[in-house]
Amino acid sequence: MRFGVMTLIDNVPDARSGHLLTPYERFREVIELAVLAEELGYDAFGVGERHGAPFLSSSPPAVLGAIAARTHRIRLFTTVTVLSTLDPVRVAEDYATVDQLSGGRLELTIGKGNAPEPWHLFGRDPDNQYALQEENYELLRRLWSEEQVTWSGDHRPPLRGATVLPRPHQQPPTIWHGSATSERSVELAALWGDPIFAANAVQPVANYARLTDHYRERWEDYGHDPSAALVGSGGTLYAARDDRTAREEFAPYYEAAVAARDVPGNNTPFRTLDDAVDHGPVLVGSPERITDKILQQHYAYGHALQFFSVDSAGLPFSRKADVLRLTAAEVLPQLRHELPDPLLWPAAPAAPLPPLATEAAR
């Protein structure tokens, strides 16, 4: 199994102290968290996309470009790119640029989104969300794999002999399909032979298991090799030395996040932390409990990639860093021993890339 850290760059007051970071401070924190994740041996770092308060993640390509400049090995994910509301030409250009800046470390995850703001901001009709997702995805694939693309569709002007620049560093980057509940989203992934990413955030584990089971069934229906189907999963993470300490420390942050009912995606049936830990998907507790729970979820999903979110109701950076350190030291080694390495991508250099020829000559 491979492991990553993800963020939607929400910016809210600390649920305990009330302290609120400035946007500048919050962005710097995200970059430092990515650098720390690479130093600790995590395999990936993901930045999601949102276009309304309290999130600052309206421009993931810019954030990932800044992270690319400070890292050398870690894979750079979008979690997710709201492709249904965006121009696929712009998406192709922006993320090919990130792929070049990072030396081929981009992993694009697309989704239709579950928040209303993008539809109003970008003038899209939410009644067409699935049709837009499918059409934009097919065009994006062509723009990354072909040059001189001639294309016409129902939702944007046609293209005649279009070649987007820069070309991706990879040929082409992997596109994952993210979904919380939509079988239609994973249907598209199965049709094209792409991996999926299950949110694993607010619903019961059984709901996400149905989603991944449907993906694998449709994958085989389309004639793909069953062993090649890949699943990723998310998860809220808070680790401490023992279960009681973890629950006591994290409960105010979890319950403040759940209480923010105006934030899309927080419609969880698990209103208390105890309920979420005992019956839901969240990963809170001792390293042993978190390890066991991920193994249980792996039994349900068969996932090869596990992402962790350490953002919750203004949790301070020092606590996020402690959680990632403890997890890297005591959870990841056990899981890597128990679960096979899926070799999702080629090994990246562990050291900085060599200098350009012009730099070496100075």
| Model pLDDT for residues 294-330, shown as the tens digit of each residue | 999 999 999 999 999 999 889 999 999 999 999 999 9
Model-level pTM greater than 0.85? yes
Q: Identify whether the C-beta of residue 186 lies closer than 8 Å to the C-beta of residue 211.
A: yes
Domain annotation for the chain: domains and CATH numbers:
2-345 (3.20.20.30)
Q: Which residue has the higher pLDDT, 230 or 119?
A: 230
By DSSP bridging, strand 174-179 and strand 237-239 are: unpaired
pLDDT confidence bin for 350, thresholds 50/70/90: very low
The CA distance from 268 to 280, in Å, is 9
Q: Which residues contact 333 (CB under 8 A, 6 or more apart)?
A: none
Residue 324: φ, ψ to 5°: -65, -40
Tell whether omega for the bond before 172 is within 30 degrees of 0, i.e. cis.
yes
Crossing angle of the two packed helices 205-221 and 183-192, in degrees rounded to 10: 30
User: 7 by DSSP, 3-state: which?
Assistant: strand
Segment 67-117, tens digit of pLDDT: 999 999 999 999 999 999 999 999 999 999 999 999 999 999 999 877 777
Provide the pLDDT for residue 351.
Answer: 47
Phi (first) and psi of residue 92, to 5 degrees: -60, -45
Distance separating alpha carbons of residues 281 and 192, to the nearest angstrom: 28
Helix (H) / strand (E) element for 232: namely strand 231-233
